[in-house]
Chain A
């Protein structure tokens, strides 16, 4: 079985500041890793995913994430945030084989203050 922990339920940041949203996972098998974003009144959208290869993954809207296998982490970063980045961010994993379901973390609400 898999589990995902997002260590921060809320992260307030000033505009143009850097941000890191933390995600740790546990799994007995290899997994794919995802970050989804939910803007107000919208569905979840894929931000980026790690499948294999380079551990630094770049996504949409200037976000990137780094896969660290030894620490079982997949933290999301952005060097300079905008007001429009205000949203809920979800880390998720899915096994390479077998069960097709995504296992999500609790979500982190990112609030950008002017």
Chain B
């Protein structure tokens, strides 16, 4: 069946460290987005990346659609990076985004 899996579920980093978050998905996709959910619950768009590589400041993302995974890289982490990171996927066959269970990131000073 349809699956969107994220790993790791929880991550604690020292400020300044780098990290890689992973999203695996079960089928061909039209759309893949990475979001950061801040402590107030707002989903902040990070990347729209159904394929390829993008960079935005300290963040970058890569989606290898043929191998059904996406990676989010966070470099030189800051305490403001804390929160939950979600991968959301829209498959070729449907009209909805399927969210992974998220990675909860805590960056400590």
Partners in one complex: no
Interface residues of B (CB under 8 A from A): none
